[in-house]
Structure 1
Amino acid sequence: MDWIEFVKDWGGLILSALGITGGVFAYLRHDRKLKLQEKRLNDLQIRQLQKAEARELQADIKCNAYRSKSNSIVKIVNAGPANASNVRVEILDQDKLDGLIFFHQNWGPYDLINATNCVEERIALCEGHDEFIKLRIVWDDDFCKDRETILNIQLS
């Protein structure tokens, strides 16, 4: 009977204390999860900002070709937000190309291709010319030196 009396007198208080203690532990656990999520989100935002800043410093060299009478004009375009300097162009496998007459054997180096600007090179097309030329382009920009791309250009 002492047990029943004890439960009657102290049971509600003990259960209330256990409830409060459980609530505090649940709050602390939830708070720790929220802080971990917040740290991950902050790290993600920082990485995204760093990538955006890096993209602003990069030139993006692209090429396309269009036809003008019996010539093909190859446009080397800087599609990025930054200027490209010291742009070097190498025509790969030039000795294996058939039916193409290059007005300049060496393209470039170009001191500067401004953002959203281009340079053009002309190729005379003969009967049965190759449909594609492959270019290796190397340039410097504010992001780093000697950035490189290899492009396969269709001569239209």
Structure 2
Amino acid sequence: MSMDIVSIVLSAFAIALTIIMYFKHDKRLKKQEEKLNAYQLKKIDEEESENKKAQVKGNVIKGDKGRRDLRIYNTGKAPAKNIYVEFLDNYVGHDNSAEKVIVMDYPTPYEFLNTNDHFDIIMHLYAYNSTDVLKVRLTWEDDFSNQNEHIQHFKLT
């Protein structure tokens, strides 16, 4: 009879231990699932934000006889609106005065720029009086924000 009691006690202990281990494991799985769900929701939110953002940047293309084209392009996933190009250097002008870089007229603000599209701003450098670097501030609006800004330096020589 005492063997039966020991056997019952051991069986009850094994069942209790199995139940405790099951609940601990279940709790751990639920925590992991909660973290995974939070991570997935964060990723979805980030993707939705990225899909609303334009990314406006520039590149300088060398031409003949001191001509440079400042190519402004959108590599983002959303269209850019009201793009302003501001030349931050004091040696940039729009006429033939003593500036080192002459910028030809261009639409400002540039109203709309789709993803992977671009527009060009024609510039001319004075051969003997040109500068090495041009500093430009690009500002635009997109579906994510109305106050986007990117400052970029361009090597002209």
Would the aligned equivalents of 1:63 and 1:77 in 2 still touch at CA under 8 Å?
Answer: yes
Q: Give 1:43 deviation, angstroms.
A: 0.8
**Between Structure 1 and Structure 2, which shows a larger proportion of helix residues?**
1
Determine which structure has more spread, i.e. the larger CA radius of gyration: 1
> CA–CA distance in 2 between the matches of 1:141 and 1:92?
23
Q: Give 1:65 deviation, angstroms.
A: 0.6
Change (3 A) 1:9 1:81: closer
- Confirm whether residue 116 of structure 1 aligns to residue 116 of structure 2: yes
- Confirm whether residue 18 of structure 1 aligns to residue 13 of structure 2: yes
When normalised by structure 1's length, the TM-score is: 0.87
Deviations 1:1-46 (A, max 9, x none): xxxx63x231111011101101100110010010110111111111
Q: Give 1:96 deviation, angstroms.
A: 8.0
> CA–CA distance in 2 between the matches of 1:154 and 1:17?
80
Q: Give 1:118 deviation, angstroms.
A: 0.9
The amino acid that maps onto 1:99 is K
Q: Give 1:95 deviation, angstroms.
A: 3.8
Q: Secondary structure at the match of 1:94?
A: coil
Would the aligned equivalents of 1:65 and 1:74 in 2 still touch at CA under 8 Å?
Answer: yes
Residue number in structure 1 paired with 2:22:
27
Aligned residues: 150
Would the aligned equivalents of 2:91 and 2:100 in 1 still touch at CA under 8 Å?
Answer: no
Q: Give 1:107 deviation, angstroms.
A: 6.7
Residue number in structure 2 paired with 1:74:
70
When normalised by structure 2's length, the TM-score is: 0.87
Would the aligned equivalents of 2:57 and 2:138 in 1 still touch at CA under 8 Å?
Answer: no
Worse-superposed segment, 120-129 or 51-60: 120-129
> CA–CA distance in 2 between the matches of 1:9 and 1:55?
68
Change (3 A) 1:86 1:96: closer
> CA–CA distance in 2 between the matches of 1:135 and 1:153?
8
- State, as a whole percentage, how many aligned pairs show the same letter: 29
The amino acid that maps onto 2:111 is D
Would the aligned equivalents of 1:90 and 1:107 in 2 still touch at CA under 8 Å?
Answer: no
- Confirm whether residue 83 of structure 1 aligns to residue 97 of structure 2: no
Residue number in structure 2 paired with 1:36:
31
> CA–CA distance in 2 between the matches of 1:132 and 1:96?
11
Residue number in structure 1 paired with 2:88:
92
The amino acid that maps onto 1:149 is H
Residue number in structure 2 paired with 1:147:
148
- Confirm whether residue 102 of structure 1 aligns to residue 97 of structure 2: no
